[in-house]
């Protein structure tokens, strides 16, 4: 584990978190290179070529994170043209990128084709027609996979379940064959794969395997029609323990998936893990501004807010919150840890036992995924700084935003307006 106490002090690898906060201020995201690497290898060691792993960029898109993964041989799963530009800026290759997302614009499709994108994960027949149109104008052939909705219940939070009929993602299983036939008839499309992504923060292999079986069935049907599907992308969604949940055994699932794919034959498998690579590789460090005891509740007001880490407010997500410096033998009152943003939903934890006073530092654990990437400037708050540690070395990988940059590009009306 990369975030552990040495006596009473929390360390990130060999770096004292107190020192990091002193140097870079708070709120501060701290990532461990060793943890990212180990998480990646947990997948890659059970996933021999030609099978591919595409890190889901939206989980954490900092250039340094992408660069570490590119150097480990990662491909990337993106959901916007902006994410493609980030991958390229970080040293990734467009050929190793799959482009997911329900709402790809003309500009994004054209940009991805110009860069030689590895594959489009297409989510509707309208998108198929649009890609055909743009590819034919450019005189190129676009590599296509269809995102099919296997209609399995991932038993996760409704906001992050994506594989049910009732949500906006993918093409219904019953329509997949027709859409494929249409794609086959279009000259500038190379219909080569199918993909799915059933949701996020899934902690048992069963929903994945159920979905895989439905996808294998579909591949069988398509091949009977003479449509040569050569890859199956099973998406991401691998959960991590945030509280006391049992860990998902990735290796067993990966091996079972390969075993079943072998029975089908001639099939390259792909996965798109995001959270499982970066979630437990990051913490958010925040400083206590005030302790505010009350008759009903006690509050610890900290200097990070929902604009820095939205998951508790958005999903009612649980994050462990620990003191950066442990105090021995003191009372730990029951507190709500809340931020300064003017919203009642601005909290990090309810009813936690924590002894902390003004000026103390707290670490919000497992903040590496969907933390900084969901940050905003709400309440005109500059976004936090980000640091990556490697052994005893700490590198600033994103500067804290200067206040004036928040209204850069804004203009007051001229006198005649
Ligand atoms: C968000 C997303 C992922 C990554 O999900 P995790 O739960 O972070 O693993 C992968 N594929 C697609 C299409 C996604 O939208």
DSSP string, 275-312: HHHHGGGEEEEEEEEEEE--SS--EEEES--TTT--HH
> What is the number of residues in the chain?
417
CA-to-CA distance for 382 and 402, rounded, in angstroms? 7
Cβ of residue 274 lying under 6 Å from some atom of ligand 1: yes
320, pLDDT greater than 60: yes
**Are 187 and 223 in contact, with CB atoms under 8 Å apart?**
no
Ligand 1: centre distance to CA 156 (Å): 13
Look up residue 229 and give its two tokens.
């599907």
Place of tokens 């540690």: 389
Q: So what's the pLDDT on residue 151?
A: 85
Ligand 1: centre distance to CA 63 (Å): 18
Instruction: Provide the 3-class DSSP secondary structure of residue 182.
Output: helix
Section 113-124 average pLDDT: 98
Buried b (16+ CB within 10 A) or exposed e, 335-368: bbbbbbbeeeebbbbeebebbbeeebbbbbbbbb
If pLDDT is split at 50, 70 and 90, which confidence band does 164 have? low
166, pLDDT greater than 80: no
**Are 74 and 92 in contact, with CB atoms under 8 Å apart?**
yes
Q: Which atom of ligand 1 is nearest to the CA of 239?
A: 7
54 is catalytic: no
Residues 6+ apart with CB under 8 A from 193: 119, 143, 144, 145, 146, 229, 230, 231, 232, 233, 270
> Residue 7 carries which DSSP code?
T
Look up residue 237 and give its two tokens.
């969604």
Q: So what's the pLDDT on residue 158?
A: 59
**Helices 173-185 + 125-138 axis angle, to 10:** 20
Section 70-81 average pLDDT: 98
CA-nearest of 298, 334, 367, 328 to 26 is 367
Backbone angles phi, psi at 220, to 5 degrees: -60, -45
Section 238-257 average pLDDT: 96
Ligand 1: centre distance to CA 327 (Å): 39
Please indicate if the annotation marks 214 as binding a ligand.
Answer: no
Please indicate if the annotation marks 343 as binding a ligand.
Answer: yes
Ligand 1: centre distance to CA 235 (Å): 6
Convert the pLDDT of each residue in 192-230 to its tens digit.
Answer: 999 999 999 999 999 999 999 999 999 999 999 999 999
* Mutational pocket test of ligand 1: of 40, 43, 56, the residue with most ligand atoms within 8 Å of the beta carbon: 56
Please indicate if the annotation marks 275 as binding a ligand.
Answer: yes
Section 64-90 average pLDDT: 98
CA-nearest of 276, 282, 201 to 46 is 276
Q: So what's the pLDDT on residue 152?
A: 86
Ligand 1: centre distance to CA 56 (Å): 6
Q: State what percent of residues in the chain have pLDDT above 70.
A: 96
User: Which residues of the chain are in CATH 2.40.37.10 domains?
Assistant: 3-30+279-407
Q: So what's the pLDDT on residue 344?
A: 87
CA-to-CA distance for 20 and 395, rounded, in angstroms? 10
If pLDDT is split at 50, 70 and 90, which confidence band does 2 have? very high
Q: So what's the pLDDT on residue 322?
A: 98
Place of tokens 């994050």: 319
Ligand 1: centre distance to CA 386 (Å): 22
DSSP string, 385-416: EEEEEETTEEEEEEPPPPGGGGGTT--PPPTT
If pLDDT is split at 50, 70 and 90, which confidence band does 37 have? very high
* pTM across the whole model: 0.96
Q: So what's the pLDDT on residue 393?
A: 98
Cβ of residue 195 lying under 6 Å from some atom of ligand 1: no
Cβ of residue 163 lying under 6 Å from some atom of ligand 1: no
Q: Which atom of ligand 1 is nearest to the CA of 237?
A: 7
If pLDDT is split at 50, 70 and 90, which confidence band does 162 have? low
Please indicate if the annotation marks 311 as binding a ligand.
Answer: yes
CA-nearest of 266, 275, 74, 51 to 160 is 275
Choosing from 54, 119, 196, 342, the catalytic residue is: 342
CATH architecture of 3-30+279-407: Beta Barrel (2.40)
Q: So what's the pLDDT on residue 156?
A: 62
Convert the pLDDT of each residue in 355-394 to its tens digit.
Answer: 999 999 999 999 999 999 999 999 999 999 999 999 999 9
CA-nearest of 41, 407, 66, 70 to 254 is 41
Q: So what's the pLDDT on residue 331?
A: 87
**Are 239 and 248 in contact, with CB atoms under 8 Å apart?**
yes
If pLDDT is split at 50, 70 and 90, which confidence band does 155 have? low
353, pLDDT greater than 60: yes
Cβ of residue 124 lying under 6 Å from some atom of ligand 1: no
Convert the pLDDT of each residue in 324-349 to its tens digit.
Answer: 999 888 889 999 999 999 998 999 99
Cβ of residue 278 lying under 6 Å from some atom of ligand 1: no
Chain-wide mean pLDDT for the chain? 95
- Residue whose CA lies nearest to ligand 1 atom number 3: 236
159, pLDDT greater than 60: no
Cβ of residue 371 lying under 6 Å from some atom of ligand 1: no
The domain defined by 101-271 folds into TIM Barrel (3.20.20)
297, pLDDT greater than 60: yes
User: Which residues of the chain are in CATH 3.20.20.10 domains?
Assistant: 101-271
Q: So what's the pLDDT on residue 147?
A: 97
Q: Which atom of ligand 1 is nearest to the CA of 200?
A: 7
311, pLDDT greater than 60: yes
* Mutational pocket test of ligand 1: of 148, 197, 280, 372, the residue with most ligand atoms within 8 Å of the beta carbon: 197
Q: Tell me, rounded to whole angstroms, the distance of Cα 175 from its chain centroid.
A: 29
Section 3-12 average pLDDT: 97
Q: In this structure, how many other beta carbons lie within 10 angstroms of the beta carbon of residue 262?
A: 11
Q: Where are the alpha helices (DSSP H) in 146-232?
A: 173-185, 205-224
Q: So what's the pLDDT on residue 385?
A: 98
Q: Is the peptide bond before 180 cis (omega within 30 degrees of 0)?
A: no
């Amino acid at each position: 584990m990369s975030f552990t106490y040495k006596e009473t002090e929390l360390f990130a690898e060999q770096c004292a978190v107190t020192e990091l906060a002193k140097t870079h201020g708070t709120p501060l995201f701290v990532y461990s290179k060793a943890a990212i690497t180990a998480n990646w290898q947990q997948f890659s060691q059970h996933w021999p070529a030609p099978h591919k792993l595409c890190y889901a960029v939206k989980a954490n898109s900092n250039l340094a994170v992408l660069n570490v993964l590119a150097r480990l041989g990662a491909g990337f799963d993106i959901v916007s043209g902006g994410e493609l530009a980030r991958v390229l800026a970080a040293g990734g290759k467009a050929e190793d990128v799959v482009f997911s997302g329900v709402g790809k614009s003309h500009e994004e499709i054209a940009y991805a084709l110009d860069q030689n994108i590895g594959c489009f994960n297409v989510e509707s027949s309208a998108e198929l027609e649009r890609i055909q149109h743009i590819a034919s104008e450019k005189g190129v052939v676009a590599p296509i996979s269809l995102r099919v909705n296997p209609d399995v219940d991932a038993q996760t939070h409704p906001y992050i379940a994506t594989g049910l009929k009732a949500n906006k993602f993918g093409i219904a299983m019953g329509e997949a064959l027709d859409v494929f036939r249409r794609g086959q008839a279009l000259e500038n499309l190379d219909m080569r794969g199918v993909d799915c992504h059933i949701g996020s923060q899934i902690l048992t292999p069963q929903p994945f395997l159920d979905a895989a079986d439905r996808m294998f069935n579909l591949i069988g049907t398509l091949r009977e029609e003479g449509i040569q599907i050569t890859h199956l992308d099973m998406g991401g969604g691998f959960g991590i323990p945030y509280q006391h949940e049992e860990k998902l055994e990735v290796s067993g699932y990966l091996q079972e998936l390969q075993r079943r794919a072998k029975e089908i034959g001639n099939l390259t498998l792909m996965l798109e893990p995001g959270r499982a690579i970066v979630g437990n590789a990051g913490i958010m460090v925040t400083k206590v501004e005030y302790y505010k005891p009350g008759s009903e509740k006690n509050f610890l007001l900290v200097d990070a807010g929902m604009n820095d880490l939205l998951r508790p407010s958005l999903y009612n997500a649980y994050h462990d919150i620990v003191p950066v410096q442990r105090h021995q033998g003191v009372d730990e009152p029951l507190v709500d840890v809340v931020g300064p943003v003017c919203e009642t939903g601005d909290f990090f934890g309810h009813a936690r036992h924590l002894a902390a006073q003004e000026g103390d530092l707290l670490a919000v654990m497992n903040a590496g995924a969907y933390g900084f990437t969901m940050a905003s400037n709400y309440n005109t708050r500059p976004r936090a700084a980000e640091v990556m540690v490697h052994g005893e070395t700490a590198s600033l990988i994103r500067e804290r935003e200067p206040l004036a940059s928040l209204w850069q590009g804004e203009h007051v009306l001229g006198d005649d307006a």
